[in-house]
Structure 1
């Protein structure tokens, strides 16, 4: 009888099963290969600590996810935070150094114009208070989280309204 009730409950509320599964999956630590991301344009890499990944996730969710939930860009769905979009920007934003530079002083996708008054950044911290107290270590953690997400979420990261 109990098994039947549990099965019925999970059939009626499948999202609860998904939440339980996802929560337990998030508690598993990512291996070193997954935590290794490109550091700079010379393809030097850096391996993030589990703490940096957790911190990056928390800071991203607090500071960026309102517009970039799941790696999308709500204001321009053609450009997301997936590797292809990041690599095609000028300068390429597919490494820690360039992504941190972007978070400090963002430019348009072609690199021609400052968009600091439109996009949260350290430069525009007066307009976007969530950016005020972020340190370089915070920015590194957020950039690392963004860069490793395609390995964790795969096609869902930057996949747009199909997934989110």
Structure 2
């Protein structure tokens, strides 16, 4: 009879030698709207990883799980993004928003209270973000509904 302790020690010995494998997202999942005309763009796996990392470090404090902690009525889910004025459901429009944020109806600037490139002096995390960084973050926001479905921006019933 093999002792459980022996099996466990063998397993723990060889486990670190096994390669770690991350799930690679397919092209359909990585394809999002690039602009308001509906042009599609497929993000590279590197852009996806970079977008996730940057979103979590720069935006995730207030937008964990696609929610908006300061205004729970407006999330980052596809419906909320598409109903904003102007619609924020493409990489181009999200990048524009991150540069110069406005209220949901688009009438007033909220750069003083929402992190943005325009208010980088107030929000230091925004200072070092390049155009490519903003595009990667926007891509992350747009692919999350395909990855976690209704949980993205779905509210406290999921988180």
TM-score class, shorter-chain normalisation, is 0.7 to 0.9
1:149 aligns with 2:147: no
In the superposition, the TM-score normalised over structure 2's length comes to 0.87
1:37 aligns with 2:25: no
- In the other structure, the counterpart of 1:10 is none
- Bigger Rg over Cα: 2
Q: Indicate which of 130, 139, 151 corresponds to 1:135.
A: 130
Q: Distance in 2 between matches of 1:108 and 1:32?
A: 33
- In the other structure, the counterpart of 1:17 is none
Q: Distance in 2 between matches of 1:53 and 1:159?
A: 21
Q: Distance in 1 between matches of 2:64 and 2:158?
A: 10
Q: Distance in 2 between matches of 1:160 and 1:130?
A: 26
- In the other structure, the counterpart of 1:16 is none
Deviation at 1:162, TM superposition (A): 1.2
- In the other structure, the counterpart of 1:99 is 94
- In the other structure, the counterpart of 2:65 is 70
Deviation at 1:37, TM superposition (A): 0.2
1:28 aligns with 2:16: no
Give the gaps of 5 or more residues in structure 1: 7-23
Tell me the matched-pair count: 144
Q: Which has the higher helix share?
A: 1
Give the gaps of 5 or more residues in structure 2: 9-19
SS of residue in 1 equivalent to 2:41: strand
Q: Distance in 2 between matches of 1:63 and 1:161?
A: 21
Deviation at 1:160, TM superposition (A): 1.4
SS of residue in 1 equivalent to 2:28: coil
- In the other structure, the counterpart of 1:88 is 83
SS of residue in 1 equivalent to 2:102: coil
Regions of 4+ moved over 3 Å:
none
